[in-house]
Chain A
Amino acid sequence: MPASVQWSERGFVAVIELTNLTKVYAATRKGGAPTVAVEDVSLSISRGEFCAVVGPSGCGKTTVLNLVAGFEKSTQGQVLIDGTPVTRPGPERAVVFQQPSLLPWMTVHENVGFGLTLRDKSNHGHDEAIGQMIDIMGLEGFEHHYPYQLSGGMQQRAAIGRALITEPTMLLMDEPFGALDAQTRSEMQRFLLELWRSWHPTVLFITHDVDEAILLSDRIVVMTPRPGTIAAEIPVTLKRPRQWDVVLSQEFLHYKKRILSVLRREIG
Chain B
Amino acid sequence: MAYSWTKGSEKSLDQDVAVLSSSRRTYRGYVPWVAAALAVLIWWEITALHLVSAVALPSPVAVFHDLVATATVGYSGQTLLNSTLFSLGRISVGFVLAVLVGIPIGFWMATTEWVFLIIDPFLQFLRPIPPLAYIPLMVAWFGIGELPKVILIFFCTIPIIIISAMSGVKNVQESRRRVAECLGANRWQMFRYVVLPSALPEVFTGMRVGIGVAWTCLVAAEMIAASKGLGWMIQAAGGELQIGVVFVGIIMIGLLGYGMELGIRTLEHKMVPWKGKA
| B178 touching A135, Cβ below 8 Å | no
A104, B193: Cα distance in complex, Å: 11
Q: What are the 4 A-B residue pairs with the smallest beta carbon separation, nearest first?
A: A138-B3, A104-B278, A104-B274, A89-B182
Q: How would residues 1 to 20 of chain B score, 1 for a CB under 8 Å from any chain A CB and 0 otherwise? A: 11111110011011001000
Which of B182, B200, B273 has the most chain A CB within a 10 Å cutoff? B182
Binds B, one of A20-28, A113-121, A210-218, A241-249: A113-121
Closest chain A residue, CB of each to CB of B1: A135
A97 to B175, CA, bound (A): 8
Which B residues are CB-close (under 8 A) to A148?
274, 277-278
Q: Is the CB of B179 within 8 A of A138?
A: no
What are 11 A-B pairs at a CB distance below 8 A? A91-B182, A93-B182, A94-B182, A103-B176, A105-B197, A105-B200, A118-B184, A138-B6, A148-B277, A154-B6, A166-B183
In this assembly, does A99 line the interface, its C-beta being within 8 Å of a C-beta of chain B?
A: yes
Give chain A's interface secondary structure class: loop
Residues of A with C-beta under 8 A to B193: 103, 114, 117-118
Bound: A166/B3 CA distance, A: 22
Chain B residues touching A, range: 20 to 34
Please judge, given known A-B contacts A101-B175, A105-B274, A146-B273, whether A115 and B181 are in contact too, CB under 8 Å: no
B184 touching A115, Cβ below 8 Å:
yes
Shortest Cβ gap from B174 to chain A (Å)? 9
Out of A70, A90, A102, A137, name the residue touching B3 (CB < 8 Å): A137
Whether B184 lies near A90 (C-beta < 8 A) is yes
Smallest CB separation, A95 vs chain B (Å): 5
Contact with B along A24-39 (1 / 0, CB 8 A): 0000000000000000
C-alpha spacing A89/B181, complex, angstroms = 6
Q: How many angstroms from the CA of A105 to the CA of B194 in the assembled complex?
A: 9
Tell me, yes or no, whether A191 is within 8 Å of chain B by CB.
yes
Q: How long is the Cα–Cα vector from A140 to B6 in the complex, in angstroms? A: 11
Within 8 A of B (CB), among A58-111: 69-71, 88-91, 93-95, 97, 99, 101-105
